[in-house]
Structure 1
Amino acid sequence: MTAVGDARIRRAVRAREEGSDLPGVWSAYGGLLQHLRIRAGLSQQQLGDAIGYSLELVASVERGRRPAKAAFTAAADRVLEAGGVLRVLQDEVDRAKLPRFFRNVALLEAEALSRFSYDPLLVPGLLQTETYAHALLGAHFPPLDEEIVEQRVAARLARQALLTRKKPPVVFVFIVEEGALRRFVGSDAVMHQQLEHLVTCARMRNVELQVMPAVRSVHSGLNGPMVLLESMDRRRHVYVDAQGVVSVRSDEDEVSEFWLRYGMLRTQALSTEESSRLIERMAGEL
């Protein structure tokens, strides 16, 4: 890559990060796309025609207003003979669709060997169906722009690739409150599909799903949701989320306390077999 291209990207990232809610990496990607297009001697219209996208979309991507999707990137990289440079940024472009408060957590999550979570209010994002996620984000207040809803749904579904990652695989344990599974989101059809999806996920070899029964009124998770991560270098982290304020803890003593608490939670929840049977019964009620 040329020095001009590097400088363009650095300026774009700084501008976005200093004065806009739009992710800096979208602008960085757009600046790089514009540089490659001009180098190839193409107008925005010509590039759009060559890759099968509209002039408006190409212009929006170059301005950093809209994120490029993987198919757009693959086509542009090929037509502009970019040698994979655009594809290098695609993961970051996709991750930036997530809410700002969650992006650093998503980086830790992407490098995890194990992920243990407790979710008292909702089906965890990694196990949500598209229709459930869409209904949930559509009910956000203040209301989100429809395009933002679509971007966040897409990002949430993209995160779910972790469930089937092979090298290395990730071990998951999900503990979900029974009340979260009974919370009506969307419609009967949405909830039925979501519960059936949970049963399917629970059959995966690297996934354990436990339900905390409603009759267990007192347990070690009453302080709120938590996610425990162990990274590839065997470092352990915990993150907790309170009303969109995410706190990541890495202090060994503090992290150890969370792991002990989570171990107790597992003994207090239903077994995986009991949990699957309960979810199947709940799905049958809809």
Structure 2
Amino acid sequence: MTTRQSPTVRRRRLGAELRKRRENAGITLEFVADRMECSQSKISRIETGHSSVTSRDVRDMLTIYGTPAEEVDVLVEIAKEARQKGWWHPYSSVLVGAYVGLEAAASSIRAYEQQVVPGLLQTAEYAEAMIRGAQPDWTDEDVMNRVRVRMARQSLLTRQDDAIRFQVVLDESVLSRPVGGDKVMRDQLRLLAEAASWQNVTISVLPFESGSHAGMDGTFAILEFAEQDDSNVVYAENATGGLFLEKNDELQKYARIFENVQRAALSPEESAELIAQLAEEPLWKSRPRGFESI
């Protein structure tokens, strides 16, 4: 497998390496900040991967930690890679958080979706309708830039040599809400039915009759990385953009939740059959109260 590069992941790895060396040297954040003549929060953000760092700062920090010269050179090179701009950088004004950068380097993703089709499987028309509904104050330019990013992300599933492995459990409500109207949603369902046949994609539907289940607390994605030095991460989505979780107990908790919702869902074969059926006989067409006019 070809390992995809991402400055977001490089920044995260660099921060982890810097933190490990500081702790091994028995040095506090306060001491480093004092020597570097900066705030403790700056050092903390560098170590958590939330801020980029210059090659000079990396050298200075590693000198404080007594790091051997050959290791310094390796980490400085990672710092240079971490400061490069990802393909999504021109659209940073409409992106929240670091998810796209992490996704770009992931080798596999396991996700549970409650309300919407995941971005990696959306049609452009569905994406536009969804974004306009969620962000009514955005300009047309902002909306279309977000759609462009979403369409570009989908190459992760279709690349010939290093496509990611994508497993997703969709609550049946995702298939039942006509986002964008009848035609847009039918086209979206047809794309899902097609994607279900791709070797690297597994789609499972969690039916209404399953009742209460392990994923009722919300949507999430588990991102896994091929390189051993890059730890897995959970992205738990919320209205402000989402929360990244990296601790082992958090990763294990969400892995169990995914296994449980996948177990409660229809099989991939049954799910593909249901999706294809709903594309022809959608639930919103069978409801009363004027839904036939959609």
- Corresponding residue for residue 262 of structure 1: 258
Quick check: 1:145 aligned with 2:139? yes
* Residues 1:97 and 1:209: Cα distance change in structure 2 (over 3 Å): farther
Quick check: 1:223 aligned with 2:223? no
Aligned-residue offset at 1:98: 4.3
CA distance in 2 between counterparts of 1:92 and 1:231 reads 20
Task: Work out which of the residue numbers 154, 178, 184 in structure 2 matches 1:184.
Answer: 178
* Residues 1:169 and 1:186: Cα distance change in structure 2 (over 3 Å): closer
* Residues 1:212 and 1:100: Cα distance change in structure 2 (over 3 Å): same
Quick check: 1:279 aligned with 2:259? no
Letter in 2 for 1:250: E
- Corresponding residue for residue 247 of structure 1: 243
Q: Unaligned regions of 5+ residues in structure 1, if any?
A: 1-87
Q: Is the 8 A contact 2:108 2:164 kept in 1?
A: yes
Q: How many residues align?
A: 197
Give percent identity, aligned residues only.
Answer: 33
CA distance in 1 between counterparts of 2:151 and 2:220 reads 20
Alignment of 1:100-139 (within 5 A): 100-101=96-97, 104-139=98-133
Aligned-residue offset at 1:89: 4.7
Aligned-residue offset at 1:142: 3.9
- Corresponding residue for residue 191 of structure 2: 197
CA distance in 2 between counterparts of 1:278 and 1:171 reads 22
Work out which structure has the larger RCO, using CA pairs closer than 8 Å and 6 or more positions apart in sequence: 2
Q: Deviations over 1:227-277 (max 9, x none)?
A: 001112242110101113311011111111111111111111110000001
CA distance in 2 between counterparts of 1:217 and 1:140 reads 27
Q: Is the 8 A contact 1:98 1:156 kept in 2?
A: no
CA distance in 2 between counterparts of 1:272 and 1:139 reads 30
CA distance in 2 between counterparts of 1:133 and 1:219 reads 27
Letter in 2 for 1:155: V
Aligned-residue offset at 1:146: 0.5
- TM-score (structure 1 length as normaliser): 0.65
Q: Is the 8 A contact 1:228 1:238 kept in 2?
A: yes
Q: Is the 8 A contact 1:134 1:153 kept in 2?
A: yes
- Corresponding residue for residue 170 of structure 1: 164
CA-based RMSD of the aligned residues comes to: 1.7
Q: Is the 8 A contact 2:237 2:243 kept in 1?
A: yes
Q: Is the 8 A contact 1:175 1:211 kept in 2?
A: yes
- TM-score (structure 2 length as normaliser): 0.64
* Residues 1:89 and 1:245: Cα distance change in structure 2 (over 3 Å): closer
Aligned-residue offset at 1:90: 6.5
Q: Unaligned regions of 5+ residues in structure 2, if any?
A: 1-83, 283-294
- Corresponding residue for residue 209 of structure 1: 203
CA distance in 2 between counterparts of 1:274 and 1:264 reads 18
CA distance in 2 between counterparts of 1:180 and 1:107 reads 25
Letter in 2 for 1:109: E
Q: Is the 8 A contact 1:97 1:151 kept in 2?
A: no
Letter in 1 for 2:235: Y
- Corresponding residue for residue 157 of structure 1: 151
> SS of the residue aligned with 2:168?
strand
> SS of the residue aligned with 2:236?
strand
